[in-house]
């Protein structure tokens, strides 16, 4: 089985979907349009010869200013019975930032896709539970995008105002003047005098 055989099979079956076949270090990848990704994945999974039953990895890549189409969703597939490997790279443009979910094919794609949505902002259509997963639910932005600021800016951390307000209210109970003079110790009598 040659390196490019599966890539050629995909190209023969979906000639209008395949943009390019790339190789790197004896690994083959197929760059695709996003429209028929679910159909292609289902075919690769169900075909009795190919049997790509193991979704090894799914992740997003941001090619800001490097390629015309900004995002790519990368599927690393492996076939346990036939010991073959193929990589699909579906292009997702920034202004139309969604792709079909492959959870109907592999159940395990669920958390992969949630992570990809969390960190890149790519929506997966047909996903059963499209929420953030690694970051808090009220997080702003998608950190693995290349234009995400590396510097946090001058804003206070979340919850800062609440803590400050609580501290202000607690001052009403400052009977010993601790807040005025933090070095002052309370409750301890100086026995040396």
Partner 1 sequence: MSANKPDLKLIKNDTPGGENEAYTVAMGPQHPATHGVLKLDLELDGETVIKCRPTVGFLHRGVEKLAENMSYAQVLPLTDRLDYIASMANNVAYSIAVETLLGIETPLRAKYIRTMVMEMARLTGHLLWLATHALDIGAMTVFLYCFRERENLLDMFEELCGARLTTTYTCIGGVRQDVTGHFLETLYAFTEEFPSRVKEYETLIDQNRIWLKRTKGIGVITAEQAVSLGLTGPSLRGSGVDYDVRKHMPYDAYPFVEFEVPIGSEGDVYDRYRCRMEEFLQSNSIIRQCIEQLPAGPVRAEDAPDLVMEYNPAKKVAADATFSSGIIKLMEDRDRYMQGDVYVAAEVPKGELGFYFVSDGHGRPYRMHIRSPSYIHIGALPYLCEGYMVADVIANIGSLDVVLGECDR
Positions that interact with partner 1 (CB under 8 A): 22, 24-25, 27, 29, 53-57, 59, 61-62, 66, 74, 76, 80, 83, 85, 87, 106-112, 115, 119, 133-136, 143-144, 150
Q: Compute the least distance from the CB of residue 187 to partner 1, in Å.
A: 32
Q: Compute the least distance from the CB of residue 57 to partner 1, in Å.
A: 4
Is 61 or 178 the residue whose CB approaches partner 1 more closely? Answer: 61
CA separation for the pair 102, 110 (Å, rounded): 8
Phi, psi torsion values for 187, nearest 5 degrees:
75, -5
Is 61 or 69 the residue whose CB approaches partner 1 more closely? Answer: 61
Check residue 155 and report its DSSP letter.
P
Q: Compute the least distance from the CB of residue 174 to partner 1, in Å.
A: 32
Own/partner contacts of 27-31, CB < 8 Å, gap of 24 or more, are: 27/85, 27/87, 28/3, 28/4, 28/86, 28/87, 29/86, 29/87, 29/88, 29/89, 30/86, 30/87, 30/88, 30/89, 31/72, 31/89, 31/91
Is 13 or 85 the residue whose CB approaches partner 1 more closely? Answer: 85
Quote the tokens at residue 131. 């929420």
Quote the tokens at residue 43. 């075919």
Is 1 or 150 the residue whose CB approaches partner 1 more closely? Answer: 150
Is 100 or 115 the residue whose CB approaches partner 1 more closely? Answer: 115
Q: Compute the least distance from the CB of residue 73 to partner 1, in Å.
A: 11
Q: Compute the least distance from the CB of residue 83 to partner 1, in Å.
A: 6
* Count of C-beta atoms within a 10 Å radius of residue 98: 14
With beta carbons less than 8 A apart as the criterion, state whether 15 and 80 touch: no
Is 111 or 178 the residue whose CB approaches partner 1 more closely? Answer: 111
Q: Compute the least distance from the CB of residue 163 to partner 1, in Å.
A: 20
């Amino acid at each position: 089985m040659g390196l490019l055989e599966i890539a050629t099979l995909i190209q023969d079956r979906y000639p209008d979907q395949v943009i390019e076949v790339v190789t790197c270090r004896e690994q083959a990848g197929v760059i695709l349009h996003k429209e028929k990704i679910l159909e292609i994945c289902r075919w690769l999974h169900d075909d009795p010869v190919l049997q790509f039953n193991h979704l090894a990895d799914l992740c997003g890549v941001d090619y800001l200013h490097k390629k015309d189409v900004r995002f790519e969703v990368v599927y690393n597939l492996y076939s346990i019975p036939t010991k073959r490997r193929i990589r699909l790279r579906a292009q997702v443009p920034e202004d139309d930032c969604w792709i079909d979910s492959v959870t109907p094919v592999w159940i395990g794609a669920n958390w992969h896709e949630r992570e990809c949505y969390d960190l890149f902002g790519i929506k997966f259509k047909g996903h059963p539970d499209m929420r953030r997963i690694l970051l808090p639910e009220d997080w702003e932005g998608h950190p693995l995008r290349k234009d995400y600021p590396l510097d946090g800016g001058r804003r206070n951390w979340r919850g800062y105002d609440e803590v400050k307000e609580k501290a202000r209210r607690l001052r009403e109970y400052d009977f010993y003047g601790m807040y005025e003079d933090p070095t002052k110790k309370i409750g301890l009598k100086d026995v040396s005098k």
